[in-house]
Each structure stands twice: as C-alpha cells, then as structure tokens.
Amino acid sequence: MKNFGISIALAATLVFVCATLANAELLDRGGGLIYDDALDITWLQNANYPGNTMTWLEADDWAASLVFQGFDDWRLPATDISCSDYKCTGNEMGHLFYTDGITSDTMGVFSNVKPSMYWSSTEYDDLTAWRFNFKYGSQGTSAKDLTRYAWAVRDGDSSVPVAPEPVSSALFLIGGATLTARCWSRKKAGRSSI
C-alpha cells in the first residue's frame, strides 16, 4: 500500500510538471520567427538583426519600419514600469530572461543575444526610456541618446508564409481538369443512351 501511495504521488508530480512545461513554450516557426505562446508574441530569432546599437529613437523607428517575413507590425518589447532592477518578470524581456531562461550565455532557440542592454518601447520621460540587460537580468532606464541594442517583437503567432510548390499546383490543376473531363464525358455518355 505504501508503494501505491508513492506511485500516485510520483505520477501526480509528473503530470503537473508536464502540464506546466506544455503551458509555456518558445516555438520555432521557421524563417527566423520564434513564438512565445505564454505571452502570445513573436520574436525575431536573431536578437541583433540590425547588426549594431542605436539610440532609442533610432531603435523605435527601426522596429516600426521593419518588414520581416511579410509582417510589417513589429515593435520594441514593452516594459512593466512597476518594477526596476532585478526579477522583473511582468514584461516581455524580463519574462524571456527569468521565465524562459534566455540570456546572452544561454540563448536557447535564439541567436546573437548580446550581453548588454536592449531598448524597450516604454518611455520613462522625454529624455529617458526603459531598457533590459540580457547578461544580468536587470531593468532600468537610460538616456535616449545613448546607444543600445534593439530586438523586434510583434503581437500574436506568426509563421512563415508558405508559397505553393509549382509541381504540386500543376498536379492539382491537371487532376481537377481530368476529373471535370471524366464527369462531363460520363454525363454525355449517359444522355446518348436514353
């Protein structure tokens, strides 16, 4: 009976762990798109897609004008301004760092995560904006004229648009035409026998 109780406890723990893991995932959608199903946002897989640092205004403009995989509604990640310093999990970059374990040392499904600060879309005042550090997990503000990295994100799930294969499309059209011709010839043959 004791072993039965231990087996039930282990099974319950296993179910809980699996359910928890299944609830929050970073899903590689291909083509440089990573979907975070817990936040319902899509990240660029390359955390340094622009290839350089930029001021906050440059970063905000870059994200707003980015067209990637046919999507043109990119933005900088949002920040929860009720938290500063460490353990700020209520914002998109903090969630990525603390919940998903993405750092400059442990990039997971991402590439090019820099051990430095990234701009958020959230302004603090006219001269400063919020930023997040992917080396230390700290959140704070910086003067907007300083240069930081920029990482684009968009709302919702994204997958790479799939173009039909020419061979498959041709086969579909040929098959459809063949079926139409067969049906037409059967109808015609059925009418002539009456």
pLDDT digits (tens, 9 = 90+) for 18-30: 444 444 689 999 9
Residue 35 pLDDT greater than 60, yes or no: yes
* Assessment of whether the complete model's pTM goes beyond 0.75: no
Q: Supply the CATH number for residue 92's domain.
A: 3.10.100.10
Domain assignment present for 15 = no
Q: Alpha-carbon distance 72 to 149, whole Å?
A: 20
Number of domains in the chain: 1
Percent of the chain clearing pLDDT 70 (strictly above): 72
Domain assignment present for 96 = yes
Domain assignment present for 141 = yes
Question: What is the residue range of 46's domain?
Answer: 26-155
Could you tell me which residues come within 8 angstroms of residue 150 by beta carbon, excluding any fewer than 6 positions away? Answer: 50, 53, 54, 58, 59, 62, 63, 76, 118, 119
